[in-house]
Amino acid sequence: MYEASDLRKGLKVILDGNPHIITEFQFSKPGKGQALYKCKLKNLISGYTLERTYRSGDKFEQAQLEETRMQYLYKDTEGYHFMDTKSFEQIQMTEENLGDGKKFIKENMEVAVLLFDGRPISVELPTFVELQVIKSDPGAKGDTATNVTKPATLETGYDINVPLFVNEGEMLKIDTRTGEYVERVKK
């Protein structure tokens, strides 16, 4: 059990039966009375954010979350399918659980899956992924005065802006945190 004095940014607790992570935290001690702990909490299942204020002495249950390495297998009408790389057990996740990760995930990619009570709730992708450009218009010659970009579609269906020199069929390094182009991958 955590007490209010243990609260800090990044701590995972159970509220109303669901795991939450503290995204913002502020401590204040008024002249009279108890200390106040203002928190912004994000529900790890639904993604909703809420603000709450707690007093010293309030208690919280620790969220029992498990992170396991899994390999992404495929997507079908039921969802996204993953396999535990040690036990070969398979799980399925919805598009909501995957969030923006669906833009960058491709078959056979190894990811970290966060489990709560044995249920998958989110996926942590590698910071950088390498994806192939499947559609891109040719850049205009001589248009290189500044950082000019053009739209391109990657193998996962994600649309991104890339520099003019990028062509179809090339592999690109993409930052999964921002969704932006980093560099071309040399073969």
Question: 139 with 118, same domain?
Answer: no
Q: What is the DSSP letter of 96?
A: H
Residue with token string 């910071």: 127
115 contacts 68 by C-beta, under 8 angstroms: yes
Question: 35 with 83, same domain?
Answer: no
Domain end point (choices 109, 124, 139): 124
pLDDT at res. 144? 58
Residue 172's domain comprises 128-184
pTM of the model as a whole = 0.70
Q: Residue 21 is part of a domain; what is its CATH number?
A: 2.30.30.30
Domain end point (choices 74, 101, 124): 124
Domain end point (choices 62, 87, 105): 62
Question: 54 with 75, same domain?
Answer: no
* Structure tokens given for 39: 């928190």
Question: 178 with 143, same domain?
Answer: yes
Q: Residue 70 is part of a domain; what is its CATH number?
A: 2.40.50.140
Task: Give the residue-averaged pLDDT of 28-55.
Answer: 86
What band does 99 get if pLDDT is binned at 50, 70 and 90? confident
- Please tell me the distance from the alpha carbon of residue 129 to that of residue 21, in angstroms, as a whole number: 26
pLDDT at 72 over 90: yes
What band does 83 get if pLDDT is binned at 50, 70 and 90? very high
Q: Identify which of 136, 120, 23 has the alpha carbon closest to the alpha carbon of residue 66.
A: 120
Question: 20 with 34, same domain?
Answer: yes
What band does 70 get if pLDDT is binned at 50, 70 and 90? very high
pLDDT at res. 146? 67
Q: Identify which of 58, 108, 50 has the alpha carbon closest to the alpha carbon of residue 81.
A: 108
Residues 112-170 pLDDT 10s: 888 888 888 888 888 899 999 999 887 666 555 567 888 999 998 899 999 888 888 89
Question: 178 with 164, same domain?
Answer: yes
Structure-model confidence comparison of residues 174 and 33, the more confident one = 174
What band does 2 get if pLDDT is binned at 50, 70 and 90? confident
Question: 53 with 101, same domain?
Answer: no
Q: Identify which of 120, 76, 75 has the alpha carbon closest to the alpha carbon of residue 97.
A: 120
Total domains in the chain come to: 3
Structure-model confidence comparison of residues 154 and 1, the more confident one = 154
Q: Identify which of 15, 82, 4 has the alpha carbon closest to the alpha carbon of residue 46.
A: 15
